[in-house]
Amino acid sequence: MEIRKMQITDYEDIRALWLSTPGMGLNNIDDSKEGIEKFLKRNPGTCFISEREGRITGVIMSGHDGRRGYIYHMAVAADERNQGIGTALLDHAMNALGEEGISKVALVVFASNETGNKFWEKRGFISREDLYYRNKCIKELTRMDT
């Protein structure tokens, strides 16, 4: 397995991986090729993919606002899970964020995503019961639920 920085040329394979992964919460604007390209230009050193024999087996998108780091999307191919790929991707992202001076990282996981929640809890990400997650769409988004 090889881990390298994500590039926009990886988009079609990454999108296919996302669409095959339940609970991703994708939408037509932010997760379009243009949306991902914009994100990568803003965060060129904090997004990674794993590959095995030319096949993308995992992806993590992370970035920061100068103060807090955020993990946006992480997925590992179903037939590649439980081999350390997710942990390796997370380590790369956390190290990259740390090198950029970030000391705290947040993420959002759907409550119904049992696999995802178990993964994050095992890696020390705690659930905050004292916060409410809120958002408001500026543009109408279409969900691409898997």
The 10s digit of each residue's pLDDT in 85-113 is 999 999 999 999 999 999 999 999 988 88
Residue 36 falls inside a structural domain: yes
143 within domain boundaries: no
Count other C-beta atoms under 10 Å from residue 15's C-beta.
Answer: 17
* pLDDT grade for 138, boundaries at 50, 70 and 90: confident
Would you say residue 76 lies in a domain? Answer: yes
In a domain, 136, yes or no: no
In a domain, 57, yes or no: yes
Per residue in 30-41, pLDDT tens?
Answer: 999 999 999 999
The predicted model gives 69-80 an average pLDDT of 96
Whether 58 contacts 49, CB under 8 Å: yes
Assess if residue 141 is contained within a domain.
no
Q: In this structure, which amino acid lies at residue 101?
A: G
Tokens 């916060």 appear where?
131
Domains in the chain, number: 1
What digits encode the pLDDT tens for the residues 20-71?
998 888 999 999 999 999 999 999 999 999 999 999 999 999 999 999 999 9
Residue 137 domain-assigned (yes or no): no
Average pLDDT, the chain: 93
Task: Assess if residue 9 is contained within a domain.
Answer: yes
Q: Which residue has the higher pLDDT, 140 or 119?
A: 119
For residue 47, what is the domain's CATH number?
3.40.630.30
> Would you give the DSSP letter of residue 10?
G
- The answer to whether residues 100 and 62 touch, using CB atoms and an 8 Å cutoff, is no
Q: Rounded to two decimals, what is the model's pTM?
A: 0.91
Domain that holds residue 21: 2-122
